[in-house]
Amino acid sequence: MAKMEVKTSLLDDMIGVGDMVLLEPLNEDSFINNLKKRFDHSEVYTYIGSVVISINPYRSLPIYTPEKVEEYRNRNFYELSPHIFALSDEAYRSLRDQDKDQCILITGESGAGKTEASKLVMSYVAAVCGKGAEVNQVKEQLLQSNPVLEAFGNAKTVRNDNSSRFGKYMDIEFDFKGDPLGGVISNYLLEKSRVVKQPRGERNFHIFYQILSGASEDFLCKLKLERDFSRYNYLGLDSAKVNGVDDAANFRTVRNAMQIVGFMDHETQSVFEVVAAVLKLGNIEFKPESRVNGLDESKIKDKNELKEICELTGIDQSVLERAFSFRTVEAKQEKVSTTLNVAQAYYARDALAKNLYSRLFSWLVTRINESIKAQTKVRKKVMGVLDIYGFEIFEDNSFEQFIINYCNEKLQQIFIELTLKEEQEEYIREGIEWTHIEYFNNAIICDLIENNQTGILAMLDEECLRPGTVTDDTFLEKLNQVCATHQHFESRMSKCSRFLNDTSLPHSCFRIQHYAGKVMYQVEGFVDKNNDLLYRDLSQAMWKASHSLIKALFPEGNPAKINLKRPPTAGSQFKASVATLMKNLQTKNPNYIRCIKPNDKKAAHIFNDALVCHQIRYLGLLENVRVRRAGYAFRQAYEPCLERYKMLCKQTWPHWRGPARAGVEVLFNELEIPEEEFSFGRSKIFIRNPRTLFKLEDLRKQRLEDLATLIEKIYRGWKCRTRFLLMKKSQIVIASWYRRYAQQKRYQKIKSSAIIVQSYIRGWKARKLLRELKHQKRCNEAATVIAAYWHGTQVRREYRKFFRANAGRKIYEFTLQRLMQKYFLEMKNKMPSLSPIDKNWPVRPYLFLDSTHTELKRIFHLWRCKKYRDQFTDQQKLIYEEKLEASELFKDKKALYPASVGQPFQGAYLEISKNPKYKKLKDAVDEKIIIAEVVNKINRANGKATSRIFLLTKNNVLLADQKSGNIKSEVPLGDVTKVSMSSQNDGFFAVHLKEGSGAAGKGDFLLSSDHLIEMATKLYRTTLSQTKQKLNIEISDEFLVQFRQDKVCVKFIQGSQKNGNIPTCKRKNNRLLEVAVP
């Protein structure tokens, strides 16, 4: 059942008819109505057998997502709705799995979406093939070749904003795994006349507008261009801007694509320089000038443009100027130089611009092929994608339309041949009898154009080559003579009298009846466009350029390789290219995409019946359907056919156990389908008439409705039975749970009643026993009291004398003991915290315990101090010992001491070992440094301070210069006799030295420090440790200091200071230094 819900055929949920082969009735109106119906429902793809019809929606549709790619991947062609991905997948799988080279032919008129269709095919193949860094690079290069070719080969026309003005055929090469190896691109008939002139409402090639819009100012300056479009004669101004097209962004895309494809920076620069030169060629204008001999010649009006072109291309200005004014003709070793009039000069300028751009485009294709070609030489599988202009019928049709329509005639011819060949091969492969199919063979039209003797192209070449006066009229006269009797050629000037009075056919025109309809061609310009002459002087001027790319584009300009043979004409070149293309296509399995444009307004949701009808005719789609239906309209493998229609027969439903073909035979016999309506092949069933298929579909639809009703009935019965059984089961469960609940409630009630009765009985017994025990207890207590009184009386009588003598002392000891117990129990609960600084202690309760209370407080304090000390590390003990030493030395003696209590003693305030500034000082001191601090040394002459580094080691006191690190003084600790300081809040101190010692030559040191307490303490402890003698610390507001041979009194006084709280030292006289302390 689940399988029926999966979409397995394009017939499921079909809008209109997905395959035109099944269309009934088959005529032009029904064909168009079916396309319109599908187009209105956003179904833009329809099949004709294996051919895909694609209608341009002119809007974005959500049918090209990665999810859609996965949906169509590895699926049967007719399994899902018509889509370009289905054809792409079929072609790719045939190439990968069956080793068949493929080609995808995309045709249609301008604006029908051919370029987008080719992009979708390439993007699908890139998405489903293999992965890997190298493979991804190849895929990216193949995809990025499109923006480059579009920029240089596409233009805005009245029918399409991105019209391909050249034919492109790309061979994508794959390895045996189906991974892309590279590709080869061929281009056909670039519309180079567009370079110099564009019809009204159309633009030149995209690249001109992209450069001017997107290039930076510096880049434009290098190319000698200006951003204003109106400055260039080759650019049409009425359509310079296109709605929805960002030329600047597209220019950045093109440059990035060129880099990805593999263009070097200098190559890209050269390409844009050539484009700029072409653009500037259009600005060269000429003026007439008469010579002495009476001949007319031309001169360039403004030579600035010529100068800039020569600077861009590296051509000598005089050489190019002469090439525009003179023409040299060589014949039999003779050279004849003639002047060019103004008209001939403009022709030469435009011919040079067209040739320069056309050859640049061909060079681009060749350069891209060098980058994307397969690097390995292993055998390759090939998938070709042909994106070429469709059949063109304009109001004015010229040589370009003639060539394009000739190409489409050849494509139609190969299409019919390959389609019939494919049909015939399938019939033979399946063992079906082949019947001849009547169809229109357009070989007669192709022969009219390409016949080597009497073909139009042959006569055009013959006319261009013959001596004498050659014009378009002489060419038309020749056509009228040779082709007058051809049934597909029409001209008023021909010998055939039936067109003499046809006023719809002008005298200067001829008409060809193509397979797609009649087309009238203006004969004007046929000869010139076929000749496509570029004067040899211009070729030689281009070859002389120092610009490497331009020189490479004109190899015939090399004087050493002058070839007097006339170059091949444009018609013969294109004929040879088409022949090569046809030969290439015939070696591959073809796949077709026919593109249709729904309207001329390039607007969504508009379907123009007349325009679509016109395209259906010249694409030959009805002819294609008739060819497809000439044999059998529908064919399908036995397995999917049996799977789809097996419910129509009781013997095959729901499962057929035998071979699929036998099941289909049983099915068709049961349905009584006439034998002439179908045939059995080796692997497929062939149905002749679409009505038979639609009858099967109607029967299937009715049977599916019956099966749906049956399934619904069975489902409803199953659902009701399931619900009833569930309710029944639920009722049983509920009943059992209720009975259980009722019994539990009854049991609980009986149990609670029994417990109440038991409790009353036990209570009565307990109360009875309690009364008996209480009575017995009272009796025992009474007996005990009586016995106690009796025994007491007896004891008192016996010990009365002894008791009276010792009772007081016993009572006193007992009372004292009880008071001590109470005291200690209360002290246990009132103990203070273990902090040594906690001074709380319980109040003494009794006076006689005063000494005990005091001793206990002392013991407790000593105990908790010990507990606190036990927590210290050795370093902490050392710090506290220093703090304790400082307390003994300075507490209540020095006003600065309280501020130092909370400051830790660090010692090394200068990181001498880490600071590179003190490296010299560190190298000079070998001992461990106990304290390193910057102090101020007081000068006895004026009282001013000088910064010094104070160092204390185990054996010495050192003073060093703060800036240089040089040691100024070094005093052994044994020579230090005393340290003097004031009792006030200042940092001054004097270090007294032993008289007669080596260090005492300059006298004592008077210093000032911010860490006085620490320095004095460490000096005291170090001296005690080394000399075993206590250092005298004198604290006085007035003391003597020995300076060389003089003794100076240092006196400390109170006073306000201008510098705030900083003490100052002043020299009062030769014997007095006064320190003012705030």
- For residues 476 and 508, the answer to whether their CB atoms sit within 8 Å is yes
CA distance 196 to 208: 12
Task: Spot the catalytic one: 108, 167, 390, 571.
Answer: 390
| Geometric angle at alpha carbon 1035, from 1034 and 1036, rounded to 5° | 110
Determine the Cα–Cα distance for residues 441 and 410; give it in Å rounded to an integer. Answer: 11
- Which is the catalytic residue, given 9, 54, 115, 250? 115
Q: What string of DSSP letters covers 562-606?
A: ---SPPPPHHHHHHHHHHHHHHHHHTSEEEEEEEE---SS--TT-
Coil, helix or strand for 968? strand
Residue matched to tokens 């859609």? 68
Report which secondary-structure segment, H or E, holds 802: helix 690-829
Catalytic residue among 18, 49, 108, 111: 111
Q: At 948, list the tokens.
A: 């010094």
Rounded Cα–Cα distance for residues 932 and 427 (Å) = 111
Q: What CA–CA distance (Å, rounded) separates 723 from 713? A: 15
Pairing outcome for strands 489-490 and 180-188: unpaired
State the catalytic residue, choosing from 50, 164, 325, 397. 164
Element (H, E) at 117: helix 114-128
Reported residue count of the chain is 1078
Q: Catalogue the long-range contacts made by 40-44 (C-beta closer than 8 Å, 24 or more residues apart).
A: 40/605, 40/607, 41/15, 43/15, 43/16, 43/81, 43/82
DSSP H or E segment with residue 674:
none
What are 513's strand-pairing partners?
A: 518
163 is catalytic: yes
656/667 Cα distance (integer angstroms): 11
Per the listing, tokens 């170090």 go with 1022
Q: Which two tokens stand for residue 749?
A: 């009630």
**How far apart are alpha carbons 211 and 205 in whole angstroms?**
11
Contact 525, 509 (CB under 8 A): no
Q: Which of 90, 191, 392, 400 does the annotation list as catalytic? A: 392
318 among known catalytic residues: no
Q: Coil, helix or strand for 842? A: coil
Residue 591's CB is within 10 A of a number of other CB atoms, namely 22
HSE-CB at 382 with a 13 A cutoff on CA atoms is: 20
Phi, psi of 135 (to 5 degrees): -65, -45
DSSP helix, strand, coil percent of the chain (3-state; round to 5): 50, 15, 30
What residue has token string 């590296």? Answer: 314
Longest dimension (CA), the chain: 189
Verify cis geometry, omega within 30 degrees of 0, for the bond prior to 57: no
Q: How many CA atoms lie within 13 A of 495 on its CB side?
A: 8
Helices (H), 587-677: 609-619, 621-629, 638-645, 660-670
H/E element, 382: strand 381-387
The residues near 241 (Cβ < 8 Å, ≥ 6 apart) are: none
Residue 160 annotated to the active site: yes
- C-alpha 110/C-alpha 164 separation (Å) is 8
- The H-or-E segment that residue 56 falls in is none
**Residue among 46, 88, 118, 160 flagged as catalytic:** 160
- Please tell me which residue in 163, 491, 900, 1009 is annotated as part of the active site: 163
User: Residue 949 forms beta bridges with which residues?
Assistant: 934, 960
Q: Which of 110, 154, 936, 1008 is catalytic?
A: 110
Concerning whether 110 is annotated as a catalytic residue, the answer is: yes
Asked about 1001 being catalytic, the answer comes back as no
Active site residue 826: no
Give the DSSP letter of residue 501: T
Asked if residues 670 and 651 have their Cβ atoms less than 8 Å apart, the reply is yes
Pairing of the two strands 51-55 and 589-596: parallel
Catalytic residue annotation? 110-111, 115, 160, 163-164, 390, 392
